[in-house]
Structure 1
Amino acid sequence: MQVSALLYFINVEKFMLPCFSKQIFGFDCPGCGLQRSVLFLIKGEFVEAFNMYPAIYPMILLFCFLLFGKTIKTKYSNNITNMLMLTTVAFILINYTLKFI
């Protein structure tokens, strides 16, 4: 609640980077929607974050595993990292192709 009030006060949307590939070529890049999705997550709007950029949750899992994988050693960490990377890339590519359909 306090974070969303702070974001509203600061008006973070003014400082978001534009998509240069959309400005130059006229169509979305595979990362379009990521900034807005992170903003929705910060505001606590989890469904809207997924609707904006569906790869946000596998990406968060991947980054969390990579951060905690350095401190907590697991037996199959390479396999888990590879699977999370493949899942994230698959979500990004599926979302990107569905934008054009």
Structure 2
Amino acid sequence: MDEFMLPCLTKSFLGFDCPGCGGQRSLWLLVQGNFSEAFFMYPPIYPLVILGGLVVINKFLPLKKYSFFVSVLAAISVASIIINYIYKLTY
């Protein structure tokens, strides 16, 4: 499956990771059932998967407080991406 993953253009051209580096590999690990490895590969994977699942569920079963849940999960996702990126840059 690794040969079908998209390469990171930022890493290819500039030589350093982008904020999303590790997301594809982490999602693949999650699909395979390696939950802890997926987290260590890319910690923001869990809020992003929950956010994606919420969007899909809302398409079929509209939720009352959908906008509130999406706002909270989006804020958590962005914060976790930024924290993870800063951590990767400093270590």
Structure 1 position 71 matched with structure 2 position 60: yes
Q: Return the letter of the residue paired with 1:42.
A: V
Q: How many residues align?
A: 90
User: Which residue in 1 is equivalent to 2:5?
Assistant: 16
TM-score (norm 2): 0.92
**For 1:62, which of 47, 51, 63 is the aligned residue?**
51
Deviation at 1:18, TM superposition (A): 1.4
Bigger-Rg structure (1/2): 1
Q: CA deviation at 1:74?
A: 2.4
CA distance in 1, matches of 2:24, 2:62: 31
* Structure 1 Cα separation of the partners of residues 53 and 8 of structure 2: 26
Alignment match of 1:87 (pick from 76, 81, 87) = 76
SS where residue 19 of structure 2 aligns? coil
State the AA in 1 paired with 2:18: C
Alpha-carbon separation, structure 2, partners of 1:17 and 1:58: 22
The answer to whether structure 1 residue 43 and structure 2 residue 32 are counterparts is yes
The two structures, once aligned, show a CA RMSD in angstroms of 1.0
State the 1:44 CA deviation: 1.1
CA distance in 1 between partners of 2:4 and 2:59 (Å): 33
**Does residue 27 in structure 1 map to residue 16 in structure 2?**
yes
Q: Which runs of 5+ in 2 are unaligned?
A: none
> Aligned in 2, Cα 1:13/1:79: closer, same or farther, shift over 3 Å?
same
- Structure 2 residue matching 1:70: 3-state secondary structure: helix
TM-score, reference length from structure 1: 0.83
Q: Which deviates further from its counterpart, 85-94 or 70-79? A: 70-79
Please give the secondary structure, in 2, of the residue aligned with 1:80: helix
